[in-house]
Amino acid sequence: MPPPSSATAGQVIKCKAAVAWEAGKPLVIEEIEVAPPQKMEVRLRILFTSLCHTDVYFWEAKAQDSVFPRIFGHEAAGIVESVGEGVTELVPGDHVLPVFTGECGECAHCKSEESNMCTLLRINTERGVMINDGKSRFSINGKPIYHFIGTSTFSEYTVVHVGCLAKINPLAPLDKVCVLSCGISTGLGAMLNVAKPKKGSSVAIFGLGAVGLGAAEGARLAGASRIIGIDLNPSRFEEAKKFGVTEFVNPKDYTKPIQEVIAEMTDGGVDRSVECTGNINAMISAFECVHDGWGVAVLVGVPHKDSEFKTHPVNFLNERTLKGTFFGNYKPRTDLPGVVEMYMNKELEVEKFITHEVPFAEINKAFELMLKGEGLRCIIKME
């Protein structure tokens, strides 16, 4: 497919978008207007997007406020259509992955080798406008439609801050690598960048959704010998074998705490654990199931805002380590192109994460699948 023409640069583009008019109601395909990119912004054509649980969570808006009408979507791949003032890193025709967090390159976090939590562009679920001028780039009949976490990929065209776009290998198939812009990379990075299991080690993963299986893929790549999957849904166990998970534990099958079960299975505890559910009890179990002396637990899941983590301080004194991570400690612009190369070099297997595909007109079907807990990732084809 030829790159989109920049003949449209500087002009308003009319295109289709899936608009969420109110919480929990099916999205409606509408014709919208997308304004040109302003300073440090990029307008891109989305070719493929996929549905992540975060979209569903904020669309349902049961646990938090969400602004409407809004265009959701953040796991995607596209091609740059035009760039705003000051953008030098990207040109029309570049292939990019939009990311819900960013990398301005200037703040203390971006300058630190240890952090990826950009001060300017880190995720903000409440903001429905662009940072530059506090306005939306989407409208219908002059009325603004709000953005979602800086990406809004459920639209044929979207406007994103340049710091939230990873420029990738133009040979990478966008219908596959689009899923690397959020959940899978979060799990993969939590394992490879934060837990860092040694070859031959034992690993426990709490939650076998796409993020947890991304962590399993990381453990497989690291050469872990035992990968124990913990989930309340036994139907996930068969699928997880494809990701290198060797053993399965369903907490419902036991009366004693799951950390005790895992300690018995592993002669004192696993070397590494990664928690991907956000359930506070699972987080505590993930920490308490690692081996004393060297065990490391990594928290990935986002807990309820009122949750409190309670454990005995002796667990720390016995040389267990607890860590947290955001987006797998990947800096979006610097590191994501390398994750795409892992796929291109046939190290990272992405196809097995993609279980469904729907055309854009049937985007609500992707929501239905996720609400039923069916499959891992559903690709939404914009064409």
* Residue 308 known to be catalytic: no
- Among the options 41, 43, 95, 104, which is catalytic? 104
CA atoms of 229 and 208, how far apart (whole Å): 7
- What residue type is 325 in one-letter code? T
- Among the options 45, 49, 75, 325, which is catalytic? 75
Closest CA to 115 of 299, 326, 321: 326
CA atoms of 85 and 94, how far apart (whole Å): 17
- Among the options 107, 321, 355, 357, which is catalytic? 107
CA atoms of 307 and 379, how far apart (whole Å): 33
Q: Report the chain's terminal Cα–Cα distance, integer Å.
A: 12
* Residue 107 known to be catalytic: yes
* Residue 377 known to be catalytic: yes
- Among the options 45, 110, 147, 151, which is catalytic? 110
* Residue 182 known to be catalytic: yes
- What residue type is 39 in one-letter code? K
- In our burial notation (b when 16+ CB lie closer than 10 A, e otherwise), range 235-266 reads ebbebbeebbbbebbebeeeeeebbebbbebb
* Residue 378 known to be catalytic: no
CA atoms of 269 and 250, how far apart (whole Å): 17
* Residue 164 known to be catalytic: no
Are 228 and 245 within 8 A, CB to CB?
A: yes
- Among the options 81, 109, 118, 153, which is catalytic? 118
* Residue 272 known to be catalytic: no
Are 175 and 71 within 8 A, CB to CB?
A: no
- Among the options 74, 109, 137, 333, which is catalytic? 74
* Residue 289 known to be catalytic: no
* Residue 161 known to be catalytic: no
- Among the options 43, 45, 49, 52, which is catalytic? 52
* Residue 109 known to be catalytic: no
- Among the options 45, 122, 320, 333, which is catalytic? 122
Catalytic positions are 52-54, 74-75, 104, 107, 110, 118, 122, 182, 377
